[in-house]
Amino acid sequence: MSSAALETAYLIGRLDRLARSGVNVAGLNPAQWEALRYLSRANRFSRTPAALADYAGSTRGTISQTLIALEQKGLASRQASRRDGRSVELALTRRGEAVLRNDPLKRLAGDIAVATGGDPGALLATLQAILSATIARNDGRAFGICRTCRYFRCNAEPTSASPHHCSLLDEPLSDADSGAICQEHDDEAAA
């Protein structure tokens, strides 16, 4: 391993710590912020405690405590799944959505935009490749944007409010769904 690679890893770790410093905004700790961010980006099939735990690389017990705190603060809610009454679906409340508008991670996004001259595409691709390698090494789930999945069918029902379709789950998908992250994601390249 090169010293530049190790220095890069140190910088990523430091950026993470600095981005999290002062994140006690709105009385939320870093795990609570991460859960809110996940819930705002996940599709309806992936807003479950188990999927959140997989995404965060955390235990289900830790995630349970995080969700209890978010519910007590009025930022998230849970209800029995409409698809499967045995599981739970999570959602952001309006208050949770409002808190996310002031997400401290947006400051880091601003720094990235400035440092890349407003074109973070190369940096994004590099970080995605690093994340993929780390997930594979840790035997984790990839998650990914619905419309990039091998099971996504674009405009399967073009006149419908949910024009797209997931052929894995046999479920209709809206335009909003197509841009959300999904626990069932399977990269098109793997097809």
Listed in sequence order, the DSSP H helices in 47-120 are: 49-56, 60-72, 94-100, 105-115
Give the pLDDT score at 46. 92
pLDDT higher than threshold 90 for residue 72? yes
Domain contains 36: no
pLDDT higher than threshold 50 for residue 159? yes
Domain contains 132: no
The three-class DSSP label of residue 72 is helix
CB-CB contact of 75 with 99 (8 Å): yes
Domain that holds residue 156: 142-191
What is the average pLDDT across 79-93? Answer: 85
Q: Place 191 in a pLDDT band, splitting at 50, 70 and 90.
A: very low
**How far from each other are the two terminal CA atoms of the chain, in whole angstroms?**
32
Report the distance separating Cα 174 and Cα 8, nearest Å: 39
Structure tokens at 134: 């780390």
Report the distance separating Cα 2 and Cα 36, nearest Å: 36
Q: Place 39 in a pLDDT band, splitting at 50, 70 and 90.
A: very high
Amino acid at position 94, single letter: R
Domain contains 147: yes
Give the pLDDT score at 181. 92
What is the average pLDDT across 94-121? Answer: 93
Domain contains 38: no
List, in order, residues 6 or more apart from 11 with CB less than 8 Å away.
none
pLDDT higher than threshold 60 for residue 23? no
Indicate the pTM of the whole model.
Answer: 0.86
Domain contains 173: yes
